[in-house]
């Protein structure tokens, strides 16, 4: 079957991979000159079931209210005119109960564990390199009280099969020596041995190259202008370079799945939540963090890609605005330098901002959408790297009419 995959980010590329593996003919279309040039370009790199807590929770609601109009918090919220934002926000608020948060966390963790297995399979099948670092992730807390509370909250993770260990600073330093000289700067950590990290952009581009070498078409530098339907089926995709006809179509446009989807009557509750990352060269510095993790006090994530260290922070509701300026990174860099003074050359930062394609529950959307031959793989929010390989497999299974090995019955498109 000829399948047009719209979007060459993590979601689209991994869908194409699994379709190819199943013997189909995927054709991938993306407006950028290279795969993974939008949200999949500069993410934190964590492949992390330990980081899969529900974003919507009673605590998140309070934080959201406190952040209105402020520009110095990890969560930033500018009042928006966009009615789609308000619809999204209402649904997010409905997810902010304890019961809903626990339910969403369980579904997120389940998808993480399944996806990690699929990632390992894909790496075995292709041999791609992506700056992988296994051996766990550290979730650091600055006070005893915060550590204690986090340890209690981690019970849900433990019940779901994720190993979480509570460590004091010395124990953390025995696992990752970056903490030896800064043991006085944090109270302890939750260590999740099964978490991993890697460069999502390198991974996506390596998989795309692997596919291109095997004859899969990646139509890059080609912007999709519209999707045309004929009755109950998608007839063609019209681009700035002509049209593409296929037996089936997969919407994997990240945040733009929502805007493009609306033009054909789809209702995809995906809204952009902007995040910022800064990448610095290790440049001979001798003490970068070996393992990825999160400073839970300052809410920034970190990962080591060998020659570079990436630092990531902030969840900002700013619509479809990709802009950034050096002052956006001041707080992040200050907090990172306190914890990791010798991680790399802070004078050589590469700044970036990207839009997380968030759904109100923070779970992705799969399945057939309104038309007989249109499928969705979008809305992966803050976990699209962790979920990429599982989601690609799930999308391919659904397109083939197979029941996915991982149950996604509650993540299917609802019109």
Ligand X SMILES: Cc1cc2nc3c(=O)[nH]c(=O)nc-3n(C[C@H](O)[C@H](O)[C@H](O)COP(=O)(O)OP(=O)(O)OC[C@H]3O[C@@H](n4cnc5c(N)ncnc54)[C@H](O)[C@@H]3O)c2cc1C
Residues contributing to the site for ligand X (CB under 6 A):
7-12, 29-32, 37-40, 43-46, 223-224, 252-254, 256, 275, 277, 301, 312, 354, 356-357, 378, 380-386
Place of tokens 């063609």: 236
Residue 179 CB, nearest approach to ligand X (Å): 20
H or E element in which residue 309 lies: strand 308-317
Strands (DSSP E) along 84-223, which ranges?
A: 137-141, 165-167, 188-192, 196-197, 217-219
Q: Among residues 169 and 367, whose Cβ is nearest to ligand X? A: 367
Question: What totals of helices (H) and strands (E) does the chain contain, helices first?
Answer: 11, 20
Q: Among residues 95 and 197, whose Cβ is nearest to ligand X? A: 197
Q: Among residues 187 and 394, whose Cβ is nearest to ligand X? A: 394
Residue 39 CB, nearest approach to ligand X (Å): 3
| Residue ranges in 154-199 assigned as alpha helix (H) | 155-159, 169-175
Residue 382 CB, nearest approach to ligand X (Å): 5
CA-CA distance, 45 to 310, in Å (whole number)? 8
Residue 240 CB, nearest approach to ligand X (Å): 9
Residue 239 CB, nearest approach to ligand X (Å): 7
Q: Nearest Cα to 61, choosing from 92, 91, 105?
A: 92
Neighbours of 400 (CB within 10 A): 14
Q: Among residues 29 and 75, whose Cβ is nearest to ligand X? A: 29
Residue 262 CB, nearest approach to ligand X (Å): 13
Q: Nearest Cα to 358, choosing from 266, 272, 252?
A: 272
CA-CA distance, 276 to 316, in Å (whole number)? 9
Q: Among residues 141 and 380, whose Cβ is nearest to ligand X? A: 380
Q: Among residues 46 and 374, whose Cβ is nearest to ligand X? A: 46
CA-CA distance, 188 to 166, in Å (whole number)? 7
Residue 181 CB, nearest approach to ligand X (Å): 26
Residue 310 CB, nearest approach to ligand X (Å): 9
Q: Among residues 80 and 239, whose Cβ is nearest to ligand X? A: 239
Strands 365-368, 165-167: pairing kind = unpaired
CA-CA distance, 304 to 311, in Å (whole number)? 9
To 5 degrees, how large is the angle CA 265–CA 40–CA 407?
60
Q: Among residues 57 and 115, whose Cβ is nearest to ligand X? A: 115
Residue 329 CB, nearest approach to ligand X (Å): 12
Q: Which residues contact 127 (CB under 8 A, 6 or more apart)?
A: none
Is residue 107 within 8 A of residue 359, CB to CB? The reply is no
H or E element in which residue 317 lies: strand 308-317
Question: What is the Cα gyration radius of the chain?
Answer: 21
Q: Among residues 7 and 344, whose Cβ is nearest to ligand X? A: 7
């Amino acid at each position: 079957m000829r399948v047009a995959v719209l979007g060459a980010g993590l979601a689209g590329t991994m869908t194409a991979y699994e379709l190819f593996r199943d013997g189909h003919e995927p054709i991938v279309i993306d407006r950028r000159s290279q795969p993974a040039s939008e949200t999949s370009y500069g993410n934190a790199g964590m492949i992390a079931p330990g980081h899969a807590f529900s974003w919507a929770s009673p605590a998140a609601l309070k934080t959201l209210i406190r952040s209105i109009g402020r520009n110095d918090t990890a969560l930033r919220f500018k009042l928006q005119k966009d009615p789609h934002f308000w619809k999204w926000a209402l649904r997010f608020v409905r997810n902010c109960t304890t019961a809903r948060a626990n339910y969403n966390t369980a579904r997120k963790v389940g998808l993480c564990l399944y996806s990690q297995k699929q990632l390992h399979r894909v790496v075995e099948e292709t041999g791609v390199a992506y700056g992988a670092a296994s051996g766990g992730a550290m979730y650091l807390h600055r006070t005893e009280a915060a550590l204690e509370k986090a340890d209690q909250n981690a019970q849900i993770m433990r019940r779901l099969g994720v190993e979480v260990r509570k460590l004091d600073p010395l124990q953390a330093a025995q696992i990752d020596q970056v903490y030896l000289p800064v043991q006085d700067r944090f109270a302890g950590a939750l260590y999740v041995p099964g978490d991993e990290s890697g460069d999502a952009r390198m991974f996506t581009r390596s998989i795309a190259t692997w596919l291109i070498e095997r004859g899969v078409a990646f139509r890059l530098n080609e912007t999709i202008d519209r999707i045309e339907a004929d009755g109950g089926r998608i007839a063609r995709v019209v681009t700035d370079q002509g049209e593409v006809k296929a037996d089936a179509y997969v919407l994997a446009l990240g945040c733009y799945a929502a805007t493009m989807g609306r033009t054909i009557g789809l209702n995809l509750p995906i809204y952009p939540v902007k995040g910022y990352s800064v990448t610095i060269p290790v440049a001979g510095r001798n003490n970068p963090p070996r393992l990825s993790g999160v400073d839970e006090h300052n809410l920034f994530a970190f990962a080591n890609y060998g020659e570079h260290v990436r630092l990531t922070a902030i969840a900002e509701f700013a619509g479809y605005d990709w802009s950034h300026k050096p002052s956006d990174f001041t707080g992040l860099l200050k907090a990172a330098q306190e914890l990791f003074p010798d991680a790399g050359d802070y004078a050589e930062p590469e700044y970036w901002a990207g839009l997380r394609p968030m759904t109100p529950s923070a779970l992705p959307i799969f399945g057939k959408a309104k038309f007989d031959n249109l499928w969705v793989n979008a809305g992966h929010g803050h976990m699209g790297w962790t979920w990429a390989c599982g989601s690609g497999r799930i999308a391919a299974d659904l397109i083939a009419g197979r029941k996915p090995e991982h149950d996604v019955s509650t993540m299917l498109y609802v019109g």
